[in-house]
Chain A
Amino acid sequence: MSELDRKTRDALGELLLAMADDEFVLGFWDSEWTGIAPILEEDVAMSSVSQDEIGHAKALYELLAGLTGEDADRIAFGRPVDAYRHAALMNHARTDWAFSIARRFLYEHADAVRLESLASSAYQPLADLAVKMRREETYHLLHFDLWLRRLAEGGEDSHARLAHAIRALWSDAQAVFAPLAGEASLIAAGILPESLEALRARWLERVTTRLEAAHLPVPAATNRPGAEGRTRHTDEFAWLHGEFTMVSGSEADATW
């Protein structure tokens, strides 16, 4: 693909930042389960999944840094709260296990749909990375599909907590597909092979099938997400931001 014009490059930067922030913030939230997950196997699994996500974020931040000439670590850790562009789904604290599982289930399928599409992106470095990440994300999909069924069929309490969490997160989950300002130019350049709204429709189909199979209520259809789905921030996220920037913020420009 030929040199990107300014407008397309900015739009690509916006897409990469959105994806990287999703993976980064969720990776940090779920890494909080390390040591306190309900069973030992889940300590290991959730830690490993979180490490995957933060690794994916790192690779995406590096693609972005290559595009803008910035430093990947500075993009990851050097921004104020307001400059993060994760979907509103990642604005919530980890809460209880059912809540974390519900979020992972909703996100993993959104991520799967997004990566599946980006595997044929005209921006080759992103297509290559999407192909590789998809292979790893398959493990996440299998794992959280299994947990969804396990909690749904586990008993009244786990079923109720899961149903409640799905309902509470439903609207914010749509924001993974919130429109990007430069979306039209990304589609025109083939960098984004389909609109985010088309991807959202595919995601809805996937999660609806699985929720129904697990006898979980499917929340009512929501409106198309707005751009503010990626600019809203909560006190809970501000707290997490304080946690994950604590070390890098303790001494500016320190090197390891």
Chain B
Amino acid sequence: MVAAAPTRESAVWAALAEISDPEIPAISLVDLGVIRGFGFEPRETGGERLTVELMPTFVGCPAIDVMRHQIGERLTDLGLADEVVVELTFAEPWTSDRITPAGREALRSSGFAPPVTIGSTFTGDSLTVLPIATCPYCASRNTTLENPFGPTLCRAIYHCADCRQPFEAFKPV
């Protein structure tokens, strides 16, 4: 991903890594795994276009327009292309497994339990990992699911029986 000598690709990744999730500012868009990729291509009218593919965490995520705007602004400022386009894509589903190890740690240290890895066990009708969350405060596994729905579409609410703290977790999806 990052070449030894700075390339414009690495400059784009670095710029994207500086943009935070508008709803959970502790994690960057790159660590959240919502950037599917990007590419430079010549425009018919001359010059180059930089197209970024953005994967919504949830289809109805209201933060997606904010992300889109911030990416467009930040990459336009870089001045690497004559035009920046941010496209939403569902060509592959964003899943919580795309959150990077650094992203998981960022979530945990800001009080969100990172999502349990679901791999290919997701069948569409069941989600057996849902009741499992590790308390981000005391690392206890003695926790219960209070509500599979939380303050944003991507969050669920749990309670830790050991430190008696309610906490939020990023939903496995």
Contacts and interface: CB of A to CB of B under 8 A. Distances in A.
A135 B95 contact: yes
Interface residues of B, number: 28
B67 to A, nearest CB: 15
Interface stretch (B38-46, B102-110, B143-151): B143-151
Given A41-B157, A135-B95, A143-B149, 6 more contacts: A44-B157, A51-B153, A55-B60, A128-B90, A139-B127, A139-B148
Interface in A98-114: 112
Contact of B173 (A45, A115, A136, A143): A136
Interface string B99-143: 000000000000000000000001011110010000000000000
A120 interface: no
B84 to A, nearest CB: 21
Contacts of A134: 124
Interface of B: 56, 58-62, 90-95, 122, 124-127, 130, 146-151, 153, 157, 171, 173
Interface centre among A53, A55, A129, A141 (most CB of B within 10 A): A55
Contacts of B62: 51, 55
Contact of A132 (B94, B126, B149): B94
Contacts of A53: 60
Nearest to B124: A134
Chain A interface main SS type = helix
Chain A to chain B: the 9 pairs with minimum beta-carbon distance, closest first: A55-B60, A48-B149, A45-B149, A128-B90, A132-B93, A41-B147, A55-B59, A134-B124, A132-B90
A134 to B, nearest CB: 5
B125 A132 contact: no
Contacts of A125: 90
Contacts of B91: 128
A132 B124 contact: no
A53 B91 CA distance: 20
B61 to A, nearest CB: 7
A125 B147 CA distance: 32
B93 A55 contact: no
